[in-house]
Structure 1
Amino acid sequence: MKPLLIGIAGGSASGKTTIAQCLKEEFEQTRSVVIIREDDYYKDQSQKTMAERVKTNYDHPFAFDHALMIEQIDALLAGQAIEKPVYDFVQHTRSTVTEVIEPCDVVVLEGLFVLEEPELRKRLNIKVYVDTDADIRFIRRLLRDVEERGRTLQSVVHQYTETVRVMHEQFIEPSKRYADVIIPEGGSNIVAIDLLKTKISSIISPNML
């Protein structure tokens, strides 16, 4: 059976990762499940200085190596293992460390442009958009980037006002029209997540559970 490919898109800090993890936990007892994060496919910037790296617009589709991502998704769908890149958010470039991902039954793909990128979108069996209010997303992003990614308060605020908000309105919000399922308020919407789990269960062959 070809792996089930689920795409979860939405604004920065909307709750994509939380929902992806909920799905992984729901099905990993009976099937092999892996989460592929679009963030790990930011383009390598090792040839740039740190000053140049921090000027990159990380909220534009051009910041991602979607060609590599699509190539590796196709490999997983064909039953082949991949060597997935890992991104270093402190150094603003691709890490020298990679992660081997074995073929699996369910692939959960989460990221900003999962529904915006046509070549990714057409491969998805289920397309999900996480729709969370902008003020909530900003607060979550601020806490995450300061606590987990070593950013300063000023840099997070500057990035949000200069690029994150603008790119969201230009690229991410419009991609909502491609979604099969829209989940308001991210991981706190238990009813919507349960409905999504039911839909996934209906697609997966009962004989393989």
Structure 2
Amino acid sequence: MWQKHAYKLHSLEHKVRKAKGMTHASDSGISQPYVIGVCGGSGSGKTTFCRQLVNFLGKDHVLHISQDAYYKDLTHLSFEQRQQINFDHPDIIEFPLLVSHLDELSIGKCVTLPMYDFAKHCRLIGNQIVTPKPIVIVEGVLLFNDSDTEKRINHKIFIDAPEEVRFERRLKRDVRERGRTAESVQNQFKATVSPMHNIFVEPGKNKADLVVSGEHSFETIIAELSLKVLREVWVN
């Protein structure tokens, strides 16, 4: 069984390498990037999936954008007030800015991405300037909830995982990377993450072109998806 899987993966990798050798569609006058949207609950495995997909497609060909960078700036509020904000509701994301950036990238313009401090709940001073690339991967919990953002996505992927798995992963990440206490993570998950997931995130599964389990290896799926995307982006 393992040998059959390894052979299939090797074959797909060979086809992907061959596809990368094709001519980019922009050489024929088409410059609009192919946008992949990766949605799913917090802790479902979106970031891992996106990083593996970027590595497989090649960093020179892909721009990876996170919805998390587009949390609205809350510096006008005290830290105590920021802590009371529902960060799992679509209204806290500056989707119009994300949409404008996707539109600018689609016509070959560089964009300035915001950066966010999750420990302080506010935007960082300074920005990240990025250049257009043939493939754009947009990752986010609420991507498919915003109709304007959804319209700009060519291929929608939903990473699916049970709530208990998502909670355990979020707990480890937020304590390790975002300066949170275990108690605050648990309280937030119960108060907003779980109910907002059911209302705004889970319905996105029905909008997806592909639903992927966040509990299993992504290898074969990423290889198959990469081949499909490269065929869309590159032409003979």
TM-score by length of 2: 0.84
Counterpart of 2:171 in structure 1 is: 142
**Aligned partner (choices 33, 37, 58) of residue 87 of structure 2:** 58
**Aligned partner (choices 10, 13, 16) of residue 46 of structure 2:** 16
Q: Deviation per CA, 1:97-136: give whole Å up to 9, x if none.
A: 2100111111000001111111111111110000111111
**Structure of larger gyration radius:** 2
Residue 3 of structure 1: how far off its partner (Å): 0.6
**Aligned partner (choices 137, 140, 154) of residue 111 of structure 1:** 140
Question: Structure 2: which amino acid aligns with 1:7?
Answer: G
- Kept in 2: contact 1:42–1:65 (CA 8 A): yes
Counterpart of 1:67 in structure 2 is: 96
Cα RMSD after superposing both structures: 1.3
Q: May I ask how many residue pairs the two structures share in their alignment? A: 206
Residue 19 of structure 1: how far off its partner (Å): 1.1
Q: Deviation per CA, 1:43-93: give whole Å up to 9, x if none.
A: 000000000001110100001000111111111111100110001011111
Q: What SS does the aligned partner of 1:97 have?
A: coil
Q: Tell me which stretches of 4 or more aligned residues in structure 1 moved more than 4 Å.
A: none
Q: Deviation per CA, 1:146-175: give whole Å up to 9, x if none.
A: 000000011000000000000000010011
Counterpart of 1:101 in structure 2 is: 130
Counterpart of 2:121 in structure 1 is: 92
**Structure 1: which 5+ residue stretches go unaligned?**
none
Identity of aligned pairs, percent?
Answer: 36
Q: What SS does the aligned partner of 2:124 have?
A: strand
d(CA) in 2 for partners of 1:187 and 1:18? 12
- Kept in 2: contact 1:46–1:93 (CA 8 A): yes
Q: What SS does the aligned partner of 2:144 have?
A: coil
**Structure 2: which 5+ residue stretches go unaligned?**
1-29
